Every structure is written in C-alpha cells, then in structure tokens.
C-alpha cells in the first residue's frame, strides 16, 4: 500500500478524468469537487455543500450527488456549478450518495433514505443507526428530460452502485451489508432486486460499519469499500468474500482502478483524509460515461 494523496477532507469517489489527473469529492474541510494531479497535489475545482459521489460523462463533466442541500449537480472543469434536480417521482431527494452511468446514458443514483441532518448527530451516525427508519432509494435519471424515477425504495441506507461484468446493476445496503443485483436490458433496469452477497466481517466487534463505494474488475470480481471495518472486500462472481485489502484508516469510502489497464486500486479514506493505492491482480472494468450534453 502507498499513499497517493493526503490532506483531503473526508474524500469520496476517486475517478480518473480524461483530461488527466483524478477527481474526487471532499465532504469536509473544503467541501466540493477536487482535482488531484499525478503527483498527489490537489486543488478545488468547485465548491459544494457536502458532496458524496460523482460520475464523469463523455464530455468530462462531473455529475455530483450533494447532500446539503440534497441535489444532483452538474460541475464543469472550469468550475461552473448547476443544480440539475432535487426531486423525482417519489419525492424529494434525501441523501444522494453514489452515481454511475448505464451503457444507454441513463444515470443511476443511490439515495440513502434519510437527510444528513437526521443521520448525523454530534458528528457521528445517530445512536439508533441499526434500527433507524430509512427509505433508501435507487433513482434512474434521464438527463435529457431531467426526470428521475425511483426504481426501488425501502432500502436501509442505500450506498454503493456499479454495473457488473454481466451487465447487471449492483447496489449495496449499508446497515445490513447486503449487495443486491438488478437485471438490466438495453441499458435500463428491468427487474427487482435479488441478493448477491454480504460483505460484512462475521466476527466484527466494533460499532458502525457497512459497505460503501464499489467497482468491478474485468474478471467479474466486486471490490467494495467497507466503511468502519477498514478494508476493501473482494467478492468472487458467485458472491463469496474471497479476500480483503486492509486500509490504514478505518473508513474507506470508495474505490477506482487505475487507468489503461493499470493493476492498481485507488481507495478514498475518510478517517485519514487521503487516497491510498494498492497493487492488485486485476484490471478495472471500464466505466460507462454517458452521452450527455
């Protein structure tokens, strides 16, 4: 393990930018979208309230899930920020979390199901986090019409989201550790959720923990940051946790593979405020980048 970038404020969602360098969001310190150069130096591209996740489209534009206030933002590399939408057919966004594009250009976004003000109490997850009343959702967003449809809800803290090697959509539930799969046809979710895996360590004796951001390698394995446990769970295509990568901090938030087939995994880490990088035995599955204007 090596440290790629440090001095970040609760970073999330590392993504390589086609113009060079890496984008991530910072949730604390200087909240906003941050560009990290190849030497690890960072600078803010645009401010935001408390951004959680981002996805980059074919034009290099970042689509950002902001939590305070809850909104989907469009952020260009010149720093322009536009609030695109704050609600969908099932009501207002509550806690927009992670994002990914489908092959057809639709944007999928998790919504953890409780506002940040209700979730965080005195700087920590609310004491009743195990039984709290979440209405976590998965949103299907058409950026051409600027409409959002809830394709699922009632999930207990919806978090990570990614398309798999099989073309299906995968979403995790932070409180239970479950990873769900949704059948996809023609770039659109067509089925209801089915269980794929659980990434929680069975011998855990600590407090709050759960799956966060995740991504797939080209061999079909799922790599999922497990916040609170301090590891990245590596899940085989049949749903078994085959191994774990130990992070130095206790709170990894998301993952991204190196570009151009580089066998490295970049992991944002909340507790220590940095991006850690691991040499791994796999290449990343290429992310869909949408066809937006």
| pLDDT reported for residue 186 | 85
Please give the C-alpha separations between residue 290 and each of 17, 99, 103, 110, 147, in angstroms, as whole numbers. 14, 12, 7, 17, 16
| pLDDT reported for residue 85 | 98
| pLDDT reported for residue 290 | 80
Whether omega for the bond prior to residue 162 falls within 30 degrees of 0, making it cis, is no
Tell me the average confidence (pLDDT) per consecutive run of 10 residues in the chain, 293 residues long. Answer: 97 96 97 97 98 96 98 98 98 98 96 97 94 97 97 98 98 98 93 96 91 98 98 98 97 95 96 98 94 56
| pLDDT reported for residue 205 | 85
Contact between residue 74 and residue 60 where contact means Cβ atoms under 8 Å apart = no
Domain boundaries, the chain: 2-121+132-279
Q: Is 271 helix (H, G, I), strand (E, B) or coil?
A: coil
Query: Whose CA is closest to 273, among 256, 253, 255, 245?
Result: 253
| pLDDT reported for residue 279 | 98
Contact between residue 179 and residue 141 where contact means Cβ atoms under 8 Å apart = no
Tally the residues of the chain: 293
- What are the tens digits of pLDDT across the range 21-70? 999 999 999 999 999 999 999 999 999 999 999 999 999 999 999 999 99
- Which residues make Cβ contacts (< 8 Å) with residue 151, sequence separation at least 6? 138, 139, 140, 182, 189
Contact between residue 195 and residue 227 where contact means Cβ atoms under 8 Å apart = no
CA distance 19 to 275: 20
Architecture category of domain 2-121+132-279 in CATH = 6 Propeller (2.120)
CA distance 11 to 28: 8
Percent of the chain at pLDDT exceeding 90: 95
């Amino acid at each position: 393990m090596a440290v790629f970038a440090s001095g970040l404020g609760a970073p999330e969602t590392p993504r390589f930018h086609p113009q060079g360098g890496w984008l991530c969001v910072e949730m604390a310190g200087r909240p906003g979208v941050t560009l990290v150069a190849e030497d690890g130096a960072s600078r803010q591209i645009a401010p935001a309230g408390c951004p959680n996740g981002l996805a980059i489209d074919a034009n290099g534009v970042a689509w950002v899930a902001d939590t305070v206030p809850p909104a989907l933002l469009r952020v260009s590399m010149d720093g322009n920020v536009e609030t695109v939408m704050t609600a969908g057919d099932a009501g207002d966004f509550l806690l927009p979390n992670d994002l990914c594009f489908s092959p057809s250009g639709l944007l999928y976004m998790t919504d953890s199901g409780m506002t940040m003000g209700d979730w965080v109490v005195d700087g920590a997850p609310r004491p009743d986090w195990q039984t709290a009343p979440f209405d976590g959702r998965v949103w299907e967003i058409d950026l051409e019409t600027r409409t959002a449809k809830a394709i699922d809800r009632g999930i207990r803290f919806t978090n990570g989201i990614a398309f798999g090697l099989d073309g299906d959509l995968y979403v995790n539930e932070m409180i239970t550790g479950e990873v769900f799969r949704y059948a996809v046809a023609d770039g659109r979710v067509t089925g209801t959720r089915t269980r794929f895996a659980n990434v929680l360590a069975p011998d855990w004796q600590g407090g709050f923990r759960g799956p966060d951001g995740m991504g797939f390698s080209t061999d079909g394995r799922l790599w999922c940051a497990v916040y609170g446990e301090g590891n990245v769970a590596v899940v085989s295509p049949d749903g078994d946790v085959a191994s774990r990568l130990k992070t130095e901090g206790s709170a990894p938030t998301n993952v991204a593979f190196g570009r151009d087939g580089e066998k490295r995994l970049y992991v944002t880490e909340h507790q220590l405020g940095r991006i850690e990088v691991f040499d791994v035995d796999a290449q990343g599955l290429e992310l869909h980048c949408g066809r937006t204007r």
